[in-house]
Structure formats: structure tokens, C-alpha cells
């Protein structure tokens, strides 16, 4: 019986069975539309002016926010020859930013780089007496663009699905 996890020989023989983290898919797509309609042509990857799209291990397009953010320009959707992308007037991403414990402000160091970078002003700072202001994310304003991720000096910001945040 197969679990659906591609182990690879080394992980199988050493017993290191770790499920691969799910990739962040391009805007206006879902895991289902990517799996059913993507033909691995790389048109979206080449079209992205920000250079944030790349192919993952399964040769499917994934977003890498380590170098830039998504500007929602739509070049990836326009370049795709298949019905992978939804209409651009729908929600672009199903994830939002999540600020982790490695955040400088949480450790008593003044930093507001994520808030300064956020184009939607989704990250505000709550003042605290005698300590640096604490970042607070407004989930309603967060578009999941990744601007805060690329600027965070401690890589404390990740993404999480909107559903998992409310579960």
C-alpha cells in the first residue's frame, strides 16, 4: 500500500520519512488546478518579471519569496497556455503571512522592516512600554504577496493557509 510520499532510496533506507512541505503555488492557482492542468511548459516561470516562480521537484510551478515579492502583474497567468489560472479578480493567494518567534521585536530588538515593506499596511506595530513595538498582522489586509518575507532579517516570516489559521 502506497502512502503517496516519494521517499527516495536514501530516505527509505535510512528511515528518514519526512513529508515534503507543500509548495506555495503561483497566484490565482490551486494545488488541484496545477496537478490537473499544468503541462510543465515553464511559460509562467519565464514570464514572471520578479523571478519568483520556479519549478519544484515535481516540475510544477512554485513561488520562492526569498528574493522578491509578487506584484500581481498577471504575466504568469497571461503566459500560461492551459486552464491553470483562475480569473485575476479572484483572491490571488490562499495563504497569509505568519510572524514567528525568531522575530527581532519578539526578542526585544527594534525592527519594523516587515511593516515598512508591506504594500497593504497589513502589518502594524503595537506599542509596548519599555520594549520594542510588536508586529501585529491584519489577516483581512494581507494579500500573501511575500514583501515582508523577503525583507525580514531573521527569516521569521513564513506563510500559512488562511484555513489553518482559523482551525
Of 29, 27, 115, 34, nearest in space to 71 by CA: 27
Contact call for residues 92 and 27 (beta carbons, < 8 A): yes
Within 70-117, residue ranges assigned H as helices are 75-79, 113-117
Report DSSP state, residue 85. S
Handedness of CA 115, 67, 77, 159 (dihedral sign): negative
Residue 103 assigned as binding residue? no
Helix (H) / strand (E) element for 99: namely strand 95-99
Tell me whether residue 41 is annotated as binding: yes
118 is in an annotated binding site: no
Q: Known binder of ligand: residue 111?
A: no
Distances (CA, A) of 20 to 48, 49, 95: 25, 27, 18
114 labelled binding-site residue: no
Known binding positions: 38, 41, 44, 48, 70, 73, 76, 80, 142, 145, 148, 152
Known binding positions for [4Fe-4S] cluster: 38, 41, 44, 48, 70, 73, 76, 80, 142, 145, 148, 152
Amino acid at each position: 500500500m502506497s502512502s503517496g510520499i516519494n521517499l527516495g532510496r536514501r530516505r527509505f533506507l535510512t528511515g528518514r520519512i519526512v513529508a515534503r512541505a507543500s509548495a506555495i503555488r503561483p497566484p490565482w492557482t490551486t494545488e488541484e488546478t496545477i496537478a490537473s492542468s499544468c503541462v510543465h511548459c515553464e511559460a509562467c516561470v519565464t514570464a514572471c518579471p520578479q523571478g519568483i516562480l520556479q519549478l519544484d521537484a515535481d516540475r510544477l510551478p512554485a513561488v520562492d519569496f526569498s528574493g522578491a515579492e509578487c506584484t500581481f502583474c498577471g504575466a504568469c497567468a497571461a503566459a500560461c497556455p492551459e486552464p491553470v489560472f483562475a480569473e485575476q479578480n479572484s483572491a490571488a493567494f490562499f495563504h497569509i503571512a505568519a510572524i514567528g518567534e525568531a522575530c527581532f521585536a519578539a526578542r526585544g530588538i527594534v525592527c519594523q522592516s516587515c511593516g515598512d515593506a508591506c504594500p497593504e499596511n497589513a502589518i502594524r506595530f503595537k506599542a509596548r512600554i519599555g520594549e520594542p513595538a510588536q508586529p501585529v498582522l491584519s489577516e483581512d489586509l494581507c494579500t500573501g504577496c511575500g514583501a515582508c518575507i523577503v525583507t525580514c532579517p531573521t527569516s521569521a516570516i513564513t506563510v500559512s493557509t488562511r484555513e489553518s489559521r482559523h482551525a
